[in-house]
Structure 1
């Protein structure tokens, strides 16, 4: 709801604006994976892209942060390229965040705020990624997780420290921010506000030229709009799959191996007995004897236990050894000496005196080697197969390290090398909607898009069963497609662009007629080109808010205009222009007892807190001073684009 208010009261055209909730910076800091490693191209790690107060931001840090930010974006959009990321302002956003981060940390340190080792440790152990199998923090898991991301422990601890400093500095600023009741009342009443008007759409397609531009004009248009024709990175993956079926007969167990395993596991195949028991534990021998005598005289163990204030526990099936481990050897001997349905003689353990009833006796006869031969053979076969596969995988990994090719590995295994069509990072086949990479490549696809061309790797697809040797056979970097290959697409874009320009001129004419007093419908009909009809609008802000931001931009403009005005708005992707006319605004009312009032008051308080934090961020920059090295920043930009 709050974003709804901000969209309509801080944007000139009603386009949604982003609120910087800096109170969350601490959490972003703590979970970020910024690696402080490496040098690159012509920009050494000692070069500075910015200085905040006395704290320097290295170009190497900016490169690592930009790549990490791109990785995070790719979790939502796997086909995002570095070129598109930078073109959309991603590098500038990353640098701004690093500057804000450095300013907050520097200011905190100057004013005596500290985040010591113990505090950092207490924060690290809360990360679920660093917990071992027992659910507790595990140092090995912690270091492996950092190593997998290419982050040093010192860098990660520094990130946590800066995040904790930001928490100490920002949380008092945003905590407890409240909106006055009068302000909340006005904002809440806005939800009941109703607006009536109309919207006309002037599509580019209605004005687009039918002809084809000459080669020079088309080339000029292509050069001006190259970023619109960037293709995502594609990779052709070559791979070979092997598993148990590719092993030789050495995994078949011999008679000697079967006999040895039978001898080794003799206890498993010997005759055995397990029992189901009902157990009552009392503190003294006298109490145990009294309860036993009562049950023997015709009562039940459960009734005697209830009268004495105790409970009967059901146990089993248990072997004598298992029961002895739970209670004591003396208690187990007594329980296994009694017959089915009988009470065992009371015996003592560390917990007290046991009164035990034998509920069931289950006996398993001994099994001969001939009877269990097949079972043992299956077990040995599985074990030998897993060992053989693991040994084979280790051997292949060594060969790959020594530079043996994928084809040679496949030849040794006697399996075929498969080749995919060009794939996107998402797993989709490039240029073939609906087609995806082979399922077996799924677990290895992310790695395949980080590999160097022609350097195969080994992956375990199904534990102990299926292995994959794969490589990036061909890599086509993300770049604008050559004009010759997409000529028809560029011509279509040129037509949309020219149509959009003509639609804008038409929108200006319609707007002028409407301002002279002509109705919007009549103003549109006055155009020589056939256009869609005008759409009437009659909505409240509450109805619009229910759409949770999923509404067209013309509606956002309608709810940000003054009554009796008419405005134009460009449609996205050169699809045309809108003309929006607002006829009437009907004010809303809300009572302070209305739940909407309380909700708006809370959300406005949150917005005010974020404004405080935003103002603090700007003030810190001003007080500490920020110097940017535009030459180094440009060098980083070129390096990330591969232009150095």
Structure 2
């Protein structure tokens, strides 16, 4: 089953994107047990999707969108019935798959799990699994080893099911070649352009037209509602800069946590493995004993014997070398034997779940206690972070209360917490995302809404403390406000007239261009235009024109050549394209052929997967509690 996952990794990833919102995994058991009823947003068979699980998925989906969109993220756009239903449907789909995996008794063995963890690059050192890195990574994520392994086991179980569906997507060579022919088709086309500017002299705009446009588009000629504001930010980073740590505190921490600064002993070993295939264990063991005698007679030839006789495909070619490893990286029996040997010593026969090993320890890297001076910067940073985190937890509530209780000034909060009062430039209401980037921390949607509230505009009171990022609170206050106002007609008259001239000239160019195109397509007029140099249009090459032009040229009917297609360009010009030749490249790269087949197979597999999910829903009772879902609206 894992071969399907490994061989179709791209397809598996596509499926997981379709169903896997970034939410916490609660374990297979929790998916097949019932939960409390009444407030649950949905049920799948006999199991419930609880409100807590939905809220967790919703929060993490918000975080994912915030990281993806950055300054363009607007929480109010996410907080819609459609977005909440999409989140719930993703939870339902994943629940269906996990219940199906449980019913099918799919699981991941301890050996498979251990092998997967051992191959994670971030947990390796010098090409071998490092238990110290593993433990450090778990601490950084705030997880225990059982928690992480339970979560990973569930993910791998789900991938088995998804991989099995993905492996069923089969695309014939004929279908792949048909798509490749469409992709690799090349069309030669020349351009005839009718510039809008050449029709400008035929356009006359009167005062009535200008006034009409002004009246119908008054919103275009308004200065926006805008404010200037001052603000203070209370953050963990600001308090971190203020934190002080004494030498005594550093020394005490080091003495109490010496084990954290000690690297574990590691060993480098080579081995010769004879696989135990359960056919004749006694025969395999006898062969291992005979091989051991051969090794003992010529210990210097251990690597040569491993290359010739070892049945471990991963290490045999390297003379049996397994690299450095710490405790916990190898199966128990192998580890115990390896850590009893001295450097250069060869073991007896060691039996494991894999077969019979002969082990040689080639190097020992002893554990090392790092000195206080070596780790002082790390300890200082950690103690400062602890102190700042504690102070922030205490200060957050006080900051929130202070900006509310003394609403006419930010100075009391700034003085109490050692903060600097910052001042913004002019900020228009409902600014475009790109413009909002210049607002700094005030670009947060909740801050913007608070600044343009009646209380902030009329009474110039502090906004409430807003969490603009984890461990970051901000309060702002309007110092100047300019209400939206219409610009007088006289000030924008020339602008409107120029716009209308361009628009009318483009309309004339389009009219003339469409008439010329119709004549060319009917063959009424002779084709004596100056088409300019032909350009090659192909889906596999850089486009010689804007995408909208290339799309029109590549999609135009070409049963009869020359073929013609026309369109209005972004600048108002009208362009006609004459397609004079359609051809296929003489040679198609085989790698490209395989890539097209792979991508097409992924599309087919996605459709198969969608049908599979639909079949799971059809045979499983799925109920959605819309009242509970609506109650989650914030």
Q: State the TM-score, normalized to the length of structure 2.
A: 0.47
Relative to its length, the structure with more helix (as a share) is 2
Higher-Rg structure is 1
